[in-house]
Amino acid sequence: MIEVPATFRAMPRWWSEGTDWVEALPRLVADQCERWRLAPDGPVRHGSNALVVPVRRGAERLALRMSPPGDDVAREAATLRFWDGRGTVRLVDADPTRRAQLLEWIDPGTSLETVPLLQTPAILGAVLRRLAIPAPPDTPDTGRVTAADAAGWLRRWRALGAPAHQRHLATALAAAAAVREPATPDLAVNADLHFGQILRARREPWLVVDPVLLRGDIDYDLGRLLWSRLDELADDGAVRGYLAAVVEAAQLDLERAERLVLVRAMSYLLWGLERGLTEDPPRCRRLLEVFG
């Protein structure tokens, strides 16, 4: 039986829901290991939502990923099948009914979080380009996702009591309108880009885990990368310089990337405040100030 880490139990997602699933995880993992003939093999890992158990099947080392109720594991598995190991972890098997995925083991598996920030632009540029292949035509595009989100910003802004300067809302809405038509409408993009989900590997230098597939602007989620390590950038010039370095490495347009940062910063500011988050909303406000 595996032990659920205390750090996983403390994740914000379980503040209001999902605690029954967290408590049941040792049994769920044991059941899935029996179905797939797996043996746990090492310390359990986790992100903010899912639990990852190192396992062996005979001599083969793999990773068992267990996702909580509400996660669309069938979609997640289809996303991994689409990229099929190109810049992403490979899917070995999936059991959507039980919200389980069996993945290749990534060795050494240290994340991009461990790399000094100013050494990461070239890596991020290569990752963005590696994933940018023609997407299935029925994939949602970044422009429509942005437009749908922005349509509710004013109502949510008012409900939160105007959580930043009014001009930031106006600037973000203008940015959302400007990126309504993606610059690269046919290309695949990971819409959930985290330093912690880009892992050092041997099959390729870096592999992405848990991607979310959209098509359109491949710099769609650079705002998330900025706010997640924003405290390491001392001033506005450093923030602008870091984004410019990533954009140059990925061969993108800086003005459009700045607009996408504004869009993602406003989106996450509202989402985070609605859920009681305290650390990321001030970072999103800073991005709105720097680029607005």
Burial of 220 (0-12, 13-18, 19+ CB in 10 A): buried
Tell me if residue 253 is catalytic: no
Q: Which helix (H) or strand (E) holds 80?
A: helix 73-83
d(CA 270, CA 238) in angstroms, rounded, equals 25
Cα 276 to chain centroid, rounded: 20
Find out whether the peptide bond into 282 is cis, omega within 30 degrees of 0: no
Q: Which of 31, 93, 192, 217 is catalytic?
A: 192
What tokens does 23 get? 């408590």
Residue 147, Cβ density class (10 Å: 0-12 exposed, 13-18 middle, ≥19 buried)? middle
Active site residues: 192
